[in-house]
């Protein structure tokens, strides 16, 4: 009999840690494109940028936020990312201040070589974001891309285990996280960031890869902590954490096939199969349809 063919799904991914400047959209997007090109030169095919990387994060008021917001996909930021995705054959996940009619969203746009793939709107708003943004109304979609099935969360979404579980249950192999992590009270400066621990645990308990792209710098008095990382499906970092204060590109090659075929921890336990669906709803009451897991 012929030998069984084992199919692999290698993918080189990049997390871009950068410092956007508040209100400097043209500059920020140009800087992001330069960093995307650098990541692509290192072999990356999937590139993740930080949260609100086109506008900056700390708005003075809603009027400023409205003035900086753009529609998707015809706004200049998305058009620029679409152009580089087509030119270099990439999938790009980028945080953007989105305008949809009278509403603003803290969003991520997902673009690929063939155009717009989709958008994600941050479900769990943090702090003053509630003054400017409406809570995300698209749930936790999973996107089919040329390189695999991608979930997307933004920053504070990671603190909710339901976010990762719903992505995994829909068949996500990798979750992309544009983020703007800030210092956490009680954080021991000698320890890894709490955000790193949270996403490592989520990757481990859901058997998914996670790519987190944070920002650095201080904006209108608010410091950001950097420490971007790329996590394997077992929960251990495969690149990073990056520095707490410098722009940096993390690159790693991962095998997305492992997200599905290596969910068995031993002869008895498999992280998705072992769920007690007699105790809690299979899809956590979301009404979503399960994917292949």
Structure tokens at 94: 């980028």
Distance CA 30, CA 34 (A): 6
Of 19, 98, 129, 155, which residue is the catalytic one? 155
Cα–Cα distances in angstroms (integers) from residue 162 to residues 124, 125, 153, 192, in the given order: 11, 15, 11, 23
42 among known catalytic residues: no
Q: Which residues neighbour 59 within 8 Å (Cβ) at sequence distance 6 or greater?
A: 22, 65, 68, 128, 132
H helical segments located in the chain: 25-41, 62-68, 76-88, 161-169, 194-206, 258-261
Of 53, 70, 122, 176, which residue is the catalytic one? 122
Verify cis geometry, omega within 30 degrees of 0, for the bond prior to 201: no
Strands 103-112 and 115-121 turn out to be antiparallel
Q: At what angle do helices 161-169 and 194-206 cross, to 10 degrees?
A: 30
What Rg do the C-alpha atoms of the chain give, in angstroms?
18
Q: E strand or H helix at 203, and its extent?
A: helix 194-206
Structure tokens at 12: 């080189």
- Is residue 220 within 8 Å of residue 58, measured between CB atoms? yes
Cα–Cα distances in angstroms (integers) from residue 139 to residues 100, 123, 162, 286, 289, in the given order: 16, 7, 11, 9, 12
176 among known catalytic residues: no
Is 45 exposed, middle or buried (CB count within 10 Å of its CB: 0-12, 13-18, 19+)? buried
Residue 200's CB: how many other CB atoms inside 10 A? 20
Distance CA 254, CA 213 (A): 16
262 among known catalytic residues: no
Of 51, 129, 173, 248, which residue is the catalytic one? 51
Please give the positions annotated as active site. 51, 122, 155
């Amino acid at each position: 009999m012929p030998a069984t063919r084992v199919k692999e799904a290698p993918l080189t991914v990049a997390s871009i840690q950068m410092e956007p400047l508040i209100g400097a959209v043209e500059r920020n997007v140009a800087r992001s494109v330069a960093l995307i090109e650098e990541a692509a030169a290192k072999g990356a095919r999937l590139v993740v940028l930080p949260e609100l990387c086109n506008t900056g994060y700390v708005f003075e008021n809603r009027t400023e936020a409205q003035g900086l917001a753009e529609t998707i996909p015809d706004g200049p930021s998305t058009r620029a990312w679409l152009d580089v995705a087509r030119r270099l054959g990439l999938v790009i996940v980028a945080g953007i201040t989105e305008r949809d009619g009278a509403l603003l969203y803290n969003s991520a746009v997902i673009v690929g070589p063939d155009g717009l793939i989709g958008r994600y709107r941050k479900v769990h708003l943090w702090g003053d974001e509630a003054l400017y943004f409406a809570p995300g109304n698209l749930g936790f979609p999973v996107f089919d891309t040329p390189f695999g099935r991608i979930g997307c969360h933004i920053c504070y979404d990671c603190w909710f285990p339901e976010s990762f579980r719903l992505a995994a249950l829909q068949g996500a192999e990798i979750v992309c996280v544009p983020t703007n992590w800030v210092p956490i009270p009680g954080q021991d400066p000698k320890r890894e960031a709490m955000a790193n621990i949270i996403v490592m645990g989520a990757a481990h308990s859901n058997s998914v890869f996670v790519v987190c792209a944070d920002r650095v710098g201080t904006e209108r008095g608010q410091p950001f902590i950097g420490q971007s990382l790329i996590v394997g499906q077992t929960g251990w970092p495969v690149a990073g954490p990056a520095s707490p204060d410098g722009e940096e590109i993390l690159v790693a090659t991962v095998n997305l096939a492992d997200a599905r075929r290596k969910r068995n921890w031993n002869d008895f336990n498999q992280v998705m199969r072992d769920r007690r669906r007699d105790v809690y709803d299979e899809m956590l009451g979301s009404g979503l349809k399960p994917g292949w897991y």
